[in-house]
Structure 1
Amino acid sequence: MPDAVVVRLPGINVPEDAKFEVFSKNQKSKSQDQLIEGEHGSIAYEGTQDDHKYCLAIKDAKTGKIRLVEAPVHSVSSHVKDRRELEDKTVIRQASVLRWEQRTALGEAFGTKKAKAAITDAARNRLDADMLEGFEGAIVDSVKDATSSLPSKEQRQQAMTADRPIPQHNSETSNVDEIYPIDGIVSQNELHAIDIEAIEKASNAEERAQALPFKVGDYVDNRIASVIADGSDVRRRLRILAYIGFLMAVYGARRATSKPKLVEKLGAEVPDDLVDGALRRFAVSKAGMFGTTKERNFTFDPSHCDKLLCYMLALTLHIDNFQVNVTPLAHELALKPSKLIDLFRNLGCTIKNPSATQAKELGLSSTQASTYRIAVLKAPLVLPDVVRRKRR
């Protein structure tokens, strides 16, 4: 290697800490031609030896002697590393295209019928990148136009929520009482339409059960005394309990197809506000020989029946301090416990077996406790993923 080299840097400002290396152009050859390479950050430098030769005068600081050293001249250029790599890839791609064209030409000239048919299909389906260069902007614009009508993340979330048969909910709150607000389940007008005066005046459980405006089962009857004994917000909680009984009665009369028939099956003088509210939320109007109003023709389809049950279960969570015994409630509604468990899970509840203490309080044996289920709601609310069924 030479003791020194002269580097020509036309218009290039090379940092002082740039690193250069000189090596032979062809190590197997006796040629003295040299190459020089260097780099600094993302910039690479390359230089080849010129025909010109220079001599450098080197002075020894100790002896004061000067000696002349022959130094080859290198013209150095610079480039960004990534760009050069991209150019190399382009060269490789072009070489690949050339090989493909050559193979295609051989196949068309000497290939079998099957090979020629495959070449024709490939050529028909092949996209020419050069032809598409001028259409890049148009392609991007058309994709934007085509996707502009797609729903946003918030809209998709709202659609998923709409698919759930559950009442209005607050998934951000850390207070379990605020997850399913009562006002989102039943209006104040409907609650105040329920007359509870006779229930309050009743002196025993039998009289209270008879004072209820609807003929329902044990769930409501067994909780009236505890609500009154609790002494906290009694009138409101009694109305909620009575409304739970009303929803149970509506579910039992779900095969009714008109308002008069529904009221008849309920077996009581029901305030119009309650009946109209139930039909508005949980029934689907259908055309009939007398018109299309809900008062004349309606139906409780399966999805709206699930909605009715979910609204009712959300109220039972409030009454039972957000721990509902699923098994006896399912039997009272003449439903399989698994059906009610699915609905509680839709509400964001976790399902568990009773603890040993709870089983003892409920009077359950170990065998009974293993099949008994309790739905528990905790804050913050975590709803299960919505699974859409494929149409068949």
Structure 2
Amino acid sequence: MAAVRASWLHSGEQSEGHPALLAQFSNGKLQTTETVDFALYKHKDDGHPRKKHQRILTAETDRLAYVGSNFGTGALKCNTLCRYFFGILNKDSGQMEVVRAEQFNMQPVFPGDPTNSITEDKVEKTYRDKVDSLIEAFGTNKQKRALNARKMNQVGSETLSKAVTKAAENIIETKGIAALVKDAAQNELQDASLFLPPCHADAEKPEEVYKFDDLISPAEYAALETPSAPFRNITSEDIKTMLENKSYGSYVLEELQSMPMDEKSCNHKARCLWFLDTLIKFSFQKVIKRKHVFGPECPHLISGKLMKHFSVLSYNNGRLQNIMSASMKAKITAHVIALALHINDFQTDLTVLQRDMKLSENRMLEVARAMGLKISKKKAPLGALDDEDHKMATLTIPLIPYQPPGGPRKRKKMT
């Protein structure tokens, strides 16, 4: 079946006089237009160069009335800075008619509100309003741009503030304070779980909280046999060469020095270390090139997983590309910690991982706390080059409740 190609059809100069109207409501989204009556009013002075384009759009529902205009303080500045177009696709002919569009910010109007009956001429202007009027009439282009920028950054009108306050009061009366606090805490947990591995908080054993199959699937585990072969047959000379070349991080090198003698355990640890090292190296990428980013030894199944689950697809310079965002780096950090817990009997050195991943200590601890881990300190052994205390993470049952940063702080007692 031949593909149908669509073409654009501009409506011509007539769209300049009759643009399409796009209405956005300041206090919510419009679900249906069947119960809303719209009306458009235009200025009767068609000869005036400015007033002839002034429009007022009204919308009436069973509960509220809304008003929006393309002039005055309540108008959207984007109408003067940008040009918008609206497309209507004819599925039969395959043509899309493109017309000029104009946006209106619909503000609610409350009957009996004394602020609605006061006209702009009757309001006594403040000193700031008078200066703004002088700038609009006689100011330089730089002053006018600064004035427009300040008005765009201003908070919404008093009417909108009252509408939001009333809506908040209605929600509090309906759901109650306790329910709202519970919902807010649940939302924080959901936000934190976006970059965490699947967590089974009600598990009875530490190995069942962050299951190994959720980190590395059985098919991926089988694909890791070939690339992890050098780790299984590692020698002291190989480790010495790795230290000199600095081709691996401190965590991987330390674990390679204590590989198990049992063949099955050695094979398992080699696969985990190779995948963990690949995750860390992948987190250093900024713009990820699809070709040869992982090297020829990386299985296609593993490279596909990294590209799909640990990178963000972005559009730049006319093409799609994968990039490493801050949220994806946090996701990789959480998976690295979870994998290190399985390798080290559910207790791992966060300081070593933090330095290998080139993260700040606060960032690493924040991810570990979001995973519900217990944080403790461990003194460096005597004679070690690093004499700083290391942060250790331990997975205990039950998990420690996560408290997002920025919460209430304890007051220090005055002595």
TM-score, normalised on structure 1? 0.50
